[in-house]
Each structure stands twice: as C-alpha cells, then as structure tokens.
Structure 1
C-alpha cells in the first residue's frame, strides 16, 4: 500500500467516524483532502464509499429512521439536483460557495436564537431542494436536512440522514454508471478504502453514545458551522 493511499484511508477513517457519530460531515472532511491527494478519488470512489457508509448506518439504526421525512426530502432532492447542475453550469463557483456558506451560518445563528426548525412536510421538501442543489454544486448537502432535525434524538438524526444519503448516493451512482463514469480503477480505489471506512464506522459506535448524552445538537450545529466556513474559505482561495 502506497503512502498516498494510506493517507487517503486515514482521511476516510476520520470522515466515517464523524459521519457515523453525527450523521453527516464525511464530504466536509474527505472531499477537499482527497482532491489534494489524488483528484481521481473524487467524486466517483468517494461517492461509492459514502454510499457504503450510508447503508451501514441505516442498518445499524434502522428502527429510528423517519421514513416519511425521508420521502419528503427526496421529493425536493430531485429538482434540487437539477438546480445544482444549473448552478455549476451558469454561476461563478467561488461567489456561489461563499453565499451558500453565509446562508448556512445565518441558519445556524437563527436556530440558536429565535428559529425553532421542525421536520415537517413543507420545510423538509425545501431542505431536500437545498440538499440536492448544494450536494451537486459544492459537495456539501447535509446541513439543510440536519438543521431541521437538530432537536431530535441522535439515533433519529443519524438514521434519517443516512437513509437520505443512501437513496441520493444510489441515484448518483446509477447516473454515473449510465454516463460511463464508473471504471474498474474507481472500483479498485474504493475497495482499497473500504477497510478504513469500516474502521471509522466501528469507532463511531462509541462516539455516538457520547454525543447522545446531551451533546448531539451541539455536534450537529458544529458540523454545520464547519461546513459553512469550509465553503467560504474554499471560495476565497478560488
């Protein structure tokens, strides 16, 4: 195993640990670092790895998934994905990412002051649109849905987000396969990273118990803030 692949594996391990404990955040950690290490690892191998993680998370906490909520999010995700494609094609990437980052920060600020989000049909569809657009355009689609569930139990947050990611990732993988963008090299790279993914996911079992002891909302908001700052910094650096 080369040093570069070992470092990539450690990045995936940390991302899997964070997402397994909080419910989202893998792309925040893994996407920019893997791009620096080897651009060929993004997006296809990372998407395959993320899909595997999402399925594992759904199976681990399947009894806690808000399936009606997942359905509403997916209703919005389809047009949101189209909007994300349009944004990539027509808008300057830097300013768009910065605007998104600021918007997420504002939502976090409102949620700790006067806004009390609830995961009901209308907001969930809107969050699905935002998640589809942001996930497609800037690879960070978790915050809109996570913020709606921030007052829910940890298991419900993680399982619901995992179900959303599993369905969304499956759609993306199918699209890449149809477009001929999934190669044997991609599959081999993803296979090499699977052990690190499984290790990070296993470590997250203990971490989630720590967060579930009254710290889950803080973790959700912290990852949302980190996502927004990452977008703003990435935009500033061009």
Structure 2
C-alpha cells in the first residue's frame, strides 16, 4: 500500500474512532468502504482487527451503562451465526467483495434511517445477533443491526452494549478466519501501524461523547455510509 493510501486510511480510522467513541456506532460504516476502495484485500480482517482496541476502550469507559441481558442474547446469536458469515466469504469472490460491502452498507443505512421507534426484546436481540454474525464476519460491517436495536436507548447504554457485543464477535470472527486460512497476518500489522490514529480518535471522543448531540452524529454517519456505499458499488 502506498504512503498516500495509508494516510487516507489513517484519517478514516481516526475519524471513525471518534465517531464510534462518541455515538456508539460508525467505525465499520466509515472504514470498510474506504478500505474497500483502497484495497479489497483489507476486508474483513483489517476492519475487525482495528476495532478490537477501540471496543475494549469504549466498553471499559461505559461499563456502568451495559445492558447485560441484551448483550448476552446478542452475543449468543452472533457466535452461532459466525460460521455462516465465513461461508459467505467462500462464496463471494474477493473482487466482488467491495460491491457486497457497498450494497450492505447502503441497505443498512436506509433501514436505520427509516425504522420506527420500538422497545427491544429477546426476538430483536437474537435477530440482531444473527445478522451481525453474518455481515460482520463476511464484510467487517456489523453495526447497523445493533444500532437498530439500541438507537432509541440512552446513548451510554448503546455505546457500552454495542462495544461488548462487537468485541466478542470480532474475536470469534478473526479466530475462525485465521483457523480456516482466510485471515492474513498483514491485517494485524496494518492495524497495529494505525493504532496511533485510532487512539487519537478515541481520545477525542472521550472529550466529546457527553457534549456532542448523538442523534446528529448518527445522522452524519448514516449519510456518509449511503454516499460511500454508492461510491464503492460504482467502483466495483
């Protein structure tokens, strides 16, 4: 990867870490389309690897707001669906992965924009876990189903619970990817190289997460996801 491409990726990682640290979602919606445009080989391993330290930090920072019951149901369903997400990777050629990420990003953003308010229950938790297991393992983008479940809950609860669910799922997905030969050590190296950019975004989110209007931030993320998803599909 050229120096210019690495700089673009670092800026995307920093911005995404700030957005997710502030609003509770958005990292993969921002980074996955950018990574797909720069190098489809970065998907999904690099995105999954880069999110682990961010979600560790957010989960610890917001630990007092965690919805333990919801996180348990979501994680159980997420882990059960992980092998099916891996199967999608075997079916989808690498050259077409960018188009799949773009389409899934646009669809998820549209659903997130128009879904009505509701109170989540066990069925919603299980459904979100299954969808996240499929999409995050295959493409690195798994946040929208969780955002749909928690978008009308207090911001701290959304941030804490989504971070914990992501963390468990990312570790499981990466373990399965490496066990089946679909994981690449270079993804870990790139994620480590961009750790300062991620740390900068996370640190800024610490200063802003109680001050920034989470609804406006969420709107920005979804609009960005729509635009970047369309661009990614067009490029593919």
Q: Could you tell me the TM-score, scaled by structure 1's length? A: 0.81
Question: How far apart in 2 are the matches of 1:75 and 1:57?
Answer: 21
Q: CA RMSD in A?
A: 2.9
Aligned CA distance change for structure 1 residues 216 and 197 (closer, same or farther; 3 Å): same
Aligned CA distance change for structure 1 residues 8 and 109 (closer, same or farther; 3 Å): closer
Alignment size in residue pairs: 230
Task: Say if 2:55 and 2:166, in contact at 8 Å, map to a contact too.
Answer: yes
**Residue in 1 that maps onto 2:110:** 105
Instruction: Pick which of 27-36 and 168-177 moved more.
Output: 27-36
Task: Say if 1:127 and 1:144, in contact at 8 Å, map to a contact too.
Answer: yes
Question: How far apart in 1 are the matches of 2:7 and 2:222?
Answer: 28
Alignment gaps of 5+ in structure 2:
none
- For the residue of structure 2 that corresponds to 1:210, the secondary structure is coil
Alignment of 1:120-199 (within 5 A): 120-180=121-181, 181-183=183-185, 185-199=186-200
Question: How far apart in 2 are the matches of 1:172 and 1:30?
Answer: 18
Task: Say if 2:101 and 2:141, in contact at 8 Å, map to a contact too.
Answer: no
**Residue in 1 that maps onto 2:70:** 69
Question: How far apart in 1 are the matches of 2:179 and 2:100?
Answer: 31
Aligned CA distance change for structure 1 residues 221 and 69 (closer, same or farther; 3 Å): farther
Deviations 1:109-166 (A, max 9, x none): 232xxxx222321111111112222223443211111122112111111111100110
Aligned CA distance change for structure 1 residues 11 and 178 (closer, same or farther; 3 Å): same
Rg larger for: 1
Alignment of 1:1-238 (within 5 A): 2-39=3-40, 41-88=42-89, 94=99, 98=103, 101-102=106-107, 104-111=109-116, 116-180=117-181, 181-183=183-185, 185-211=186-212, 215-224=213-222, 226-228=224-226, 230-238=228-236
- For the residue of structure 2 that corresponds to 1:209, the secondary structure is coil
Task: Say if 1:77 and 1:129, in contact at 8 Å, map to a contact too.
Answer: yes
Alignment gaps of 5+ in structure 1:
none
Question: How far apart in 2 are the matches of 1:165 and 1:122?
Answer: 19
Q: Could you tell me the TM-score, scaled by structure 2's length? A: 0.81
CA-CA distance at 1:2 after TM superposition: 4.0
